[in-house]
């Protein structure tokens, strides 16, 4: 039966996440925006708490629980994908950078959850894994990866440079994408779990960024970095037919999660703007107001709200499909494309509606407008998402629609 409301059973979880966001993230939000690269030690205590939440029956707001549910019954499920999305909306309402800095909630953890075998999952339990894909010479075109992994007896030897590794400094493991054979294209690209204490891998430097400054973004260098064969996630064979499937699968599950982050930060901006408009004497919650005669700021606010609702519903749909075992690659990309651009549009417009307050560091509006931009870039840019959506709608291969 069609109903697009958040289920009651997640209220507790949403409430918990909101408490974390308002009591821990918000009070530290500006502090770590200014002190880029300083470790937000307030998060250590918090992560212990979140581990507890994750180990309990209820899913936390982490990424590790993301997996496609098996569709073994006809009953509709609201499960881990939806609760993760709902939790992250709350956390990122607090602060996107700090949410990205939560120990043991890295993108690498999502990859491990999606493609690791049972033995690997057991060995990596409790790890904090970053994800290293991008290289100086390739971003969205991950098939062009130049980092190599060469078999040497029972080990792989990895060589290459990785940039833009979120939590690359703070995490204890990194999922590194490397090719077994640069001449064999996508099918030869595999991912390897490399512990940070491996002497062959070093953090070269940290980036200074437009936003999400509380989250560290590292450049890693791998020099004759030796890992055991068991570090490879998935299948060792180069199957040109299966191609990218394994590693890319991670993204079907994580795109709605990034969309959720965008929804969270945009809601923060909308809520603060609503308060500021009320201070200015408007009543932004008057939805029955005469459409053409209401103040322009109020009309703008309603327009932003409708964009926000649209992105939110597309994201909940993608998560709901994953929870119910329905293939959702198309819908996941739609949600990421919409939410990514919505967050930039909404936070920038809210900064504009705030006037001086929207631009000044006295308010967080300007920060949200900087933080949000990354959400339309990482985990597949706006343009990559549109390519995926277009290929699916038009029935085109990546060779036809480039």
Partner 1 sequence: MAKRQRDVQGLGLAALNRLARSKTLDRLGLKKPTEKALYQASRTGFKVAGTAGRQFKAVKQLLRPARMETLKPSDLFDLTPTEEQTMVVESVRRFAEQALRPAAADAETHSEISEDVWKGAFELGLSLMAVPQALGGAGSERSPLSNALIAEALAWGDMGQALALMAPVGVANALSAWGNSDQQMRYLAAFAEDNPPDAALALLEPHPLADPQKPQCHGQALKDGSGWQLSGEKALVPLGPFADLLIVSAELEGLGPRLIVIKGDSDGLSAKAEPAMGLRAASLGRIVLDQITVQPADILGDQHAFEQAVALARLGWCALAVGTCQAVLDYVIPYVNERKAFGEPVSHRQGVAFTVANMGLELDAMRLMMWRATARAEQGQSFLREAVLAHRYCADKAMQIGSDGVQMLGGHGYVKEHPVERWYRDLRAVANLEGGLLL
Query: Which residues are annotated as catalytic?
Result: 379
Q: Does 121 bind partner 1 (CB under 8 A)?
A: no
Q: Does 141 bind partner 1 (CB under 8 A)?
A: no
Q: Nearest Cα to 14, choosing from 93, 77, 117?
A: 93
- How far is residue 366's CA from residue 361's CA, in Å, rounded to a whole number? 7
Nearer Cβ to partner 1 (183/397): 397
Binding residue for partner 1, selected from 172, 305, 363, 379, defined by CB under 8 A: 305
Nearer Cβ to partner 1 (38/310): 310
Residue 377 Cβ vs partner 1, minimum distance, rounded to whole Å: 17
The alpha carbon of 141 is separated from its chain's Cα centroid by a whole number of angstroms, namely: 18
Query: How many residues contact partner 1, by CB under 8 A?
Result: 49
Nearer Cβ to partner 1 (26/302): 302
Q: Does 320 bind partner 1 (CB under 8 A)?
A: yes
Q: Does 6 bind partner 1 (CB under 8 A)?
A: yes
232 CB contacts (<8 Å, ≥6 apart)? 149, 156, 190, 191, 192
Q: Is residue 191 within 8 Å of 158, Cβ to Cβ?
A: no
249 CB contacts (<8 Å, ≥6 apart)? 114, 115
Tell me which H or E stretch contains 177.
Answer: strand 173-179
Binding residue for partner 1, selected from 152, 236, 237, 309, defined by CB under 8 A: 309
Residue 69 Cβ vs partner 1, minimum distance, rounded to whole Å: 14
Residue 7 Cβ vs partner 1, minimum distance, rounded to whole Å: 5
Q: Does 68 bind partner 1 (CB under 8 A)?
A: no
Q: What is the CA radius of gyration of the chain?
A: 21
For the packed helices 329-353 and 245-279, what is the interaxial angle rounded to 10 degrees? 30
Residue 5 Cβ vs partner 1, minimum distance, rounded to whole Å: 6
Binding residue for partner 1, selected from 24, 82, 99, 268, defined by CB under 8 A: 82
Nearer Cβ to partner 1 (2/356): 2
Q: Does 395 bind partner 1 (CB under 8 A)?
A: yes
Residue 391 Cβ vs partner 1, minimum distance, rounded to whole Å: 8
CA atoms in the 13 A half-sphere facing the CB of 84: 26
Question: What Å distances lie between residue 100 and 108, 152, 358, CA to CA?
Answer: 12, 35, 24
Q: Does 15 bind partner 1 (CB under 8 A)?
A: no
Nearer Cβ to partner 1 (46/330): 330
244 φ/ψ angles, rounded to the nearest 5 degrees: -80, -15
Q: Does 390 bind partner 1 (CB under 8 A)?
A: yes
Q: Does 78 bind partner 1 (CB under 8 A)?
A: yes
The alpha carbon of 133 is separated from its chain's Cα centroid by a whole number of angstroms, namely: 14
349 φ/ψ angles, rounded to the nearest 5 degrees: -70, -35
Q: Does 389 bind partner 1 (CB under 8 A)?
A: yes
20 CB contacts (<8 Å, ≥6 apart)? 46, 49, 50, 90, 91, 94
Nearer Cβ to partner 1 (38/76): 76
Residue 95 Cβ vs partner 1, minimum distance, rounded to whole Å: 26
Burial 113-152, CB ≥16 within 10 A → b, else e: bbbbeeebeeebeebbbbbbbbbeeebeebeebebbbeee
Q: Does 317 bind partner 1 (CB under 8 A)?
A: yes
Site for partner 1 in 261-300 (CB under 8 A): 285, 287-288, 290-293
Nearer Cβ to partner 1 (6/155): 6
Q: Does 76 bind partner 1 (CB under 8 A)?
A: yes
Residues at the interface with partner 1 (CB under 8 A): 1-9, 76, 78, 82, 285, 287-288, 290-293, 302-303, 305-307, 309-311, 313-314, 316-317, 320, 331, 334, 337-338, 383, 386-387, 389-391, 393-396, 400-402
């Amino acid at each position: 039966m069609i109903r697009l409301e958040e289920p009651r059973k997640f209220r507790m979880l949403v409430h918990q996440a909101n408490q974390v966001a308002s009591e821990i993230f918000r009070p530290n939000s500006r502090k770590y925006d200014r002190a880029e690269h300083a470790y937000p030690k307030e998060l250590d205590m918090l992560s212990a708490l979140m581990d507890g939440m994750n180990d309990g029956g209820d899913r936390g707001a982490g990424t590790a629980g993301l997996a496609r549910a098996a569709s073994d019954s006809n009953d509709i499920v609201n499960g881990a994908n939806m609760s993760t999305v709902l939790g992250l909306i709350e956390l990122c309402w607090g602060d996107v950078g700090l949410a990205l800095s939560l120990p043991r909630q890295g993108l690498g953890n999502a990859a491990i959850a999606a493609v690791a075998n049972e033995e690997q999952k057991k060995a990596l339990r409790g790890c904090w894994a970053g994800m290293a894909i991008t290289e100086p010479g390739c971003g969205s075109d991950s098939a062009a990866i130049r980092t190599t992994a060469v078999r040497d007896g029972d080990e792989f030897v990895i060589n290459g440079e990785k940039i833009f590794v979120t939590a690359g400094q703070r995490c204890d493991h990194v999922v590194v994408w490397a090719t077994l054979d640069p001449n064999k294209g996508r099918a030869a690209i595999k991912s390897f779990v490399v512990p940070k204490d491996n002497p062959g891998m070093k953090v070269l430097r940290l980036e200074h960024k437009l936003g999400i400054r509380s989250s560290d973004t590292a450049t890693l260098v791998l020099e004759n970095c030796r890992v055991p064969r068991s570090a490879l996630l998935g299948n060792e064979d180069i199957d040109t037919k299966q191609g990218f499937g394994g590693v890319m699968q991670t993204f079907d599950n994580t795109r709605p999660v990034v969309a959720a982050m965008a929804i969270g930060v945009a809601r923060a901006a909308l809520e603060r703007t609503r308060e500021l408009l009320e201070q200015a004497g408007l009543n932004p919650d008057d939805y029955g107001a005469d459409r053409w005669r209401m103040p322009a700021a109020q009309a703008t606010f309603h327009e932003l709200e409708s964009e926000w609702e649209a992105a939110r519903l597309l994201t909940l749909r993608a998560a709901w499909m994953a929870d119910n075992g329905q293939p959702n690659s198309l819908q996941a990309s739609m949600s990421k494309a919409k939410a990514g651009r919505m967050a930039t549009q909404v936070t920038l417009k809210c900064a504009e509606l705030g006037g001086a307050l929207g631009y000044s560091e006295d308010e967080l509006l300007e920060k949200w407008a900087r933080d949000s931009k990354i959400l339309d870039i990482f985990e597949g840019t706006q343009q990559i998402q549109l390519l995926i959506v277009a290929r699916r709608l038009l029935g085109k291969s990546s060779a036809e629609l480039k």
